[in-house]
């Protein structure tokens, strides 16, 4: 979740089986041993002790050097000088060896070269195959804007279809579709107009803008990775800065930038002090220019402002959830990181409205046994790593604030792993207390590890009643829920009755502020005021909208507690919000499913995207083995049946070798390929195992449909049908 005023972000796989109520798991074959993954996640390293050993060794070298100089100056015996020089040389060798170990530790812990090369390989393939491309490329493109090409579009629409099925359908959510253009008043109420900012610095000579926290982050990471001479204490300090980066005030951030001598990365010019930059794209609605508006930075506000109607639509019952998929716009200061930080992106958001006094969830038991990597704030504070925790235990122990929040964490885990995200590179990180918005009860980010580090892809927050209250206050429309009591209840209510005549006489133009302040008192404050007025006749009372104390006399307000019969409870619901950055999830999925394997002649590495069939852009390709009319007719017949079965596919009748055609489709992540090599039966090949079976022409489309939709596993199909010899068409 993005907290106002600071952007919150920290920083492959086989066996990603799609599993839900409607589908049975699809079992892939295990990855063949020849498969090479380029990027292995980092391991923890004894960096601190190496830094300390290096510092100790440096001072030993210095001392020994001084000793050699002193011996020479004192004209000591040659043998004594030689022995001292020998000792110095061996200390230097030891120092060099520690430096080597530290260097190795740093590069294995960050794996930076490794990561860069891996990222380059993935993005080259993605861009070459048009998964995504820079928008407006023929005009040079614009940073932070990307187009999805045909396979990218298909992956995105598959991800969204699964999202709808996994969340909207499963939970009977109310889906809405609201405009991107939003009048200012809505975003003023939500706090975005005043506080949706990042801290920016400018190159003082060229005016180029940078995100201040990113510059500091890059500086700290660079020092930690490349500077062998910093002490363990300095390394600790830099790591601490990285941990609290999101929380630094403009002054602290500016002070650190100055202290470290950070300059503009492109020119080395000095930088301005950091100042807040609002990330919303501003516009005006209509030709008069009189109605200010913005492109929405999130989809959630559209749901909140419709709460009353949605609650009514739901039969005035809680809990219920509304959902929205749509574009969000953020004028990011200096977007780098490809699809991960863009200026326009698709968000899929859920607002689950719940009674604040009952956040239990009837289906929590369905996810309670799930175990996955969780990173509670206590572990983060004590410098430990994320650990595997059973969700039921996390909720029972209060690590996760409530069952409903826990339920959504579990559902998000199933969603992401169902798409093909590697469980070992997925963790749920709890926000630190100071990282959370003040109104939030608890927040967790689903973070996925990529070559860019751990990336927040889904924010799951219990935002309490903040949003509905904010819109109630601004619009005057009560966005509340009701709980009817079976029997009326007698309750004691606080009655604050300002005496308007007296207040009017005393405060004239300020009377409204005084009356509102009196009426807004909570019970404890009101009863204390009543007691004071009874004993002292008049008291000083602070009116925050006036910013000063006023004198309240006993005759100006009557405060009492009265018994009343209540038929219902009226309350503002809490909202639990899972918010999915679809582009980020898709990019991580690309990285997690990408691998290479050698060609048969072992003369080149072939790229493969091991997408589960669920997300694969095309489910099947159909190729005639050789160019002849009979085979082409069979291919067309199978294609017709696949179309009728709703299976996306592609025919390739080029005369290219079958090996090349397989390589082309593997690179697009197509899980199945049919090779027409006779008129009665065909070869069906599975992408990752390269296993091939023989299937009758008439049956081919339905077998592909079953495995593509997870109705049957490949293992099952492999057991059922005759195998095609491996010295087959593959190469
Ligand atoms: P937030 O409202 O900041 O919690 O954002 C919700 C989700 O949107 C995050 O979890 C990210 O996945 C995604 N997101 C936020 N900002 C960007 C961006 N600039 N580019 C792409 N995705 C983003």
Q: Which residue has the tokens 């958001």?
A: 349
Give the position, in ligand 1's atom list, of the atom nearest the Cα of 456.
10
Q: What is the mean pLDDT of the chain?
A: 89
Mutate to test the pocket of ligand 1, among 2, 588, 589 (most ligand atoms within 8 A of CB): 2
Return the sign of the alpha-carbon dihedral for residues 447, 448, 454, 455: negative
Both tokens of 459, joined, read 């924010």
Low-confidence spans in the chain with pLDDT less than 70: 1-46, 107-113, 726-731
724 CA to centre of own chain? 43
Q: What is the pLDDT of residue 236?
A: 87
- Ligand 1 close to Cβ of residue 347 (< 6 A): yes
| 246 close to ligand 1 (CB < 6 Angstrom) | no
Which of 628, 608, 440 has its CA nearest to residue 12? Answer: 608
For ligand 1, whether the C-beta of 332 sits within 6 Å is yes
Give dist(CA 340, CA 86) in Å, integer. Answer: 54
Pair 582, 553: CB distance under 8 Å: no
pLDDT at residue 730, rounded to an integer:
47
Beta carbons of 448 and 423 less than 8 angstroms apart: no
Ligand 1 contact via 279 beta carbon (within 6 Å): no
- The answer to whether 624 and 632 have CB atoms below 8 angstroms apart is yes
Closest atom of ligand 1 relative to the 461 alpha carbon = 4
Å from CA of 380 to ligand 1 middle: 22
Looking at residue 35, what is its pLDDT?
Answer: 44
User: How far, in Å, CA of 293 to CA of 589, rounded?
Assistant: 35
Would you say 572 and 402 are in contact if contact means Cβ atoms under 8 Å apart?
A: no
Strands (E), 333-384: 344-354, 371-375
Instruction: Tell whether ligand 1 has an atom less than 6 A from the beta carbon of residue 88.
Output: no
294: preceding bond cis by omega (within 30 degrees)? no
Ligand 1 pocket, 1 CB below 6 A? yes
> How far away, in angstroms, is 335 Cα from ligand 1 center?
12
Query: Distance from the CA of 581 to the center of ligand 1, in angstroms?
Result: 5
Q: For residues 119 and 12, what is the distance between their CA atoms, to the nearest angstrom?
A: 13
- Strands of 463-506 (E only): list them: 481-498
Q: How many residues can be counted in the chain?
A: 731
- Nearest by Cα to 13 from 587, 688, 670, 584: 688
pLDDT of residue 47: 74
3-state helix, strand, coil in the chain (%, to 5): 40, 25, 35
| Cβ atoms of residues 375 and 444 within 8 Å | no
Task: Give the pLDDT confidence score for residue 4 in this predicted structure.
Answer: 57
pLDDT score of 142: 95
Please name the residue whose Cα sits nearest to atom 4 of ligand 1: 1
* Beta bridge mates, 575: 353
Question: Nearest 5°: CA angle at 243, between 237 and 247?
Answer: 110
2 Cβ inside 6 Å of ligand 1: yes
**Helix 582-593 and helix 112-128, axial crossing angle in degrees, nearest 10:** 100
Tell me the CA distances in angstroms from 93 to 87, 100, 161, 187, 230, one per residue in order.
10, 11, 61, 63, 19
Task: Note whether 651 and 456 are within 8 A (CB).
Answer: no
Would you state the pLDDT for residue 59? 86
Please identify, by atom number, the ligand 1 atom nearest to the C-alpha of residue 343.
Answer: 19
What 3-state DSSP class applies to 279? coil
- Between the CA of 457 and the centroid of ligand 1 the distance, in Å, is 7
Tell me the helices (H) and strands (E) count for the chain, helix number first. 24, 28
Per-residue pLDDT reduced to its tens digit, 336-348: 888 999 999 999 9
For the chain, report the end-to-end CA distance as a whole number of angstroms: 48
581 Cβ below 6 A of ligand 1: yes
**Residue 99 vs residues 92, 95, 553: alpha-carbon distances, Å:** 10, 6, 76
Task: Confirm or reject: Cβ of 457 under 6 Å from ligand 1.
Answer: yes
Rounded to whole angstroms, how far apart are CA atoms 198 and 495?
A: 44
Which pLDDT does position 110 carry in this prediction?
52
Nearest alpha carbon, ligand 1 atom 11: 581
Q: Which of 580, 687, 644 is nearest to 168 (CA)?
A: 580
What global pTM score does this model have?
A: 0.81
Query: Is the Cβ atom of 296 under 6 angstroms away from ligand 1?
Result: no
Per DSSP, 169 falls in state: I
Strands 320-329 and 174-176: parallel
Given a contact cutoff of 8 angstroms between Cβ atoms, the answer to whether 666 and 593 are in contact is no
Please name the residue that has the structure tokens 């959370």: 436
The residue with tokens 């060798």 is 93
Ligand 1 centroid to Cα of residue 145, in Å, is: 14
Atom of ligand 1 nearest to the CA of 2: 3
Nearest CA to ligand 1 atom 14: 581
Beta strand 197-202 pairing with 209-211: antiparallel
- Measure 4 CA to ligand 1 centroid, in angstroms: 13
What is the pLDDT at residue 511? 92
604-623 burial string, b = 16+ CB within 10 Å, else e? eebbbbbbbbbbbbbbbbbb
């Amino acid at each position: 979740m993005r907290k106002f005023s600071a952007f919150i972000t920290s920083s492959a796989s086989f066996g990603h089986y799609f599993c839900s109520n409607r589908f049975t798991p699809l079992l892939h074959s295990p990855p063949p041993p020849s498969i090479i993954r380029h990027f292995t996640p980092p391991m923890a390293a004894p960096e601190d002790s190496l830094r300390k050993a290096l510092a100790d060794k440096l001072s030993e070298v210095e001392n020994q050097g001084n000793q050699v100089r002193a011996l020479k100056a004192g004209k000591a015996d040659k043998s004594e000088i030689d022995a001292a020089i020998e000792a110095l040389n061996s200390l230097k060798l030891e120092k060099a060896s520690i430096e080597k170990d530290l260097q190795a530790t740093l590069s294995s812990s960050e794996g930076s070269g490794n990561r860069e090369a891996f990222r380059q390989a993935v993005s080259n393939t993605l861009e070459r195959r048009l998964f995504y491309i820079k928008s407006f490329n023929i005009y040079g493109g614009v940073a932070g804007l990307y187009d999805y090409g045909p396979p990218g579009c298909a992956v995105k629409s598959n991800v969204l279809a699964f999202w709808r099925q996994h969340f909207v359908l499963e939970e009977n959510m109310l889906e809405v579709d609201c405009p991107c253009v939003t009048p200012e008043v809505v975003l003023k109420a939500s706090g975005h107009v005043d506080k949706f900012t990042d801290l920016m610095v400018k190159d003082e000579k060229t005016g180029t803008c940078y995100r201040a926290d990113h510059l500091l982050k890059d500086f700290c990471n660079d020092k930690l990775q490349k500077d062998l001479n910093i002490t363990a204490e300095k390394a600790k300090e830099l790591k601490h800065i990285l941990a609290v980066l999101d929380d630094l005030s403009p002054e602290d951030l500016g002070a650190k930038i100055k202290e470290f001598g950070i300059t503009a990365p492109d020119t080395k010019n000095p930088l301005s002090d950091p100042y807040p930059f609002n990330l919303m794209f501003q516009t005006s609605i209509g030709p008069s220019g009189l109605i200010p508006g913005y492109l929405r930075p999130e989809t959630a506000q559209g749901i909140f402002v419709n709460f009353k109607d949605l609650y009514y639509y739901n039969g005035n019952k809680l809990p219920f959830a509304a959902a929205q998929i749509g574009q969000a716009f953020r004028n990011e200061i200096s977007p780098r990181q490809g699809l991960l930080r863009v200026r326009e992106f698709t968000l899929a958001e859920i607002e689950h409205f719940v009674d604040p006094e009952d956040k239990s969830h009837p289906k929590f038991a369905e996810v309670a046994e799930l175990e996955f990597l969780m990173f509670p704030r206590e572990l983060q504070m004590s410098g430990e790593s994320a650990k595997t925790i059973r969700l039921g235990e996390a909720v029972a122990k209060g690590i996760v604030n409530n069952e409903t929040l826990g339920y959504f964490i579990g559902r998000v885990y199933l969603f992401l792993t169902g798409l093909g995200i590697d469980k070992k590179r997925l963790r749920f990180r709890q926000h630190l207390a100071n990282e959370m918005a003040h109104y939030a009860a608890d927040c967790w980010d689903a973070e996925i590890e990529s070559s860019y580090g751990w990336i927040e892809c889904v924010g799951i927050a219990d935002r309490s009643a903040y949003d509905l209250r904010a819109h109630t206050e601004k619009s005057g429309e009560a966005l509340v829920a009701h709980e009817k009591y079976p029997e009326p209840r007698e309750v004691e209510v606080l009655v604050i009755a300002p005496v308007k005549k007296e207040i009017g006489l005393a405060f004239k133009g300020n009377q409204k502020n005084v009356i509102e302040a009196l009426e807004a008192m909570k019970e404890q404050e009101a009863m204390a005021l009543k007691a004071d007025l009874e004993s002292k006749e008049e008291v000083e009372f602070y009116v925050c909208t006036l910013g000063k104390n006023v004198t309240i006399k006993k005759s100006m307000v009557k405060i009492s507690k009265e018994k009343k019969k209540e038929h219902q409870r009226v309350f503002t619901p809490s909202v639990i919000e899972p918010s999915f950055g679809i582009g980020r999830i898709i990019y991580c999925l690309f990285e997690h499913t990408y691998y290479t394997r050698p060609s048969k002649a072992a003369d080149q590495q072939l790229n493969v995207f091991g997408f589960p069939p669920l997300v694969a852009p095309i489910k099947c390709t159909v190729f005639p083995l050789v160019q002849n009319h009979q085979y082409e007719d069979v291919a067309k017949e199978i294609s017709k049946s696949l179309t009728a079965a709703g299976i996306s596919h592609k025919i390739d009748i080029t005369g290219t070798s079958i090996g090349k055609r397989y390589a082309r489709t593997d690179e697009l992540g197509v899980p199945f390929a049919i090779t027409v090599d006779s008129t009665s039966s065909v070869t069906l090949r599975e992408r990752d195992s390269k296993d091939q079976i023989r299937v009758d022409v008439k049956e081919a489309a339905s077998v592909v449909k079953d495995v593509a939709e997870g109705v049957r596993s490949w293992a099952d199909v492999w057991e059922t049908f005759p195998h095609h010899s491996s010295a087959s068409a593959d190469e």
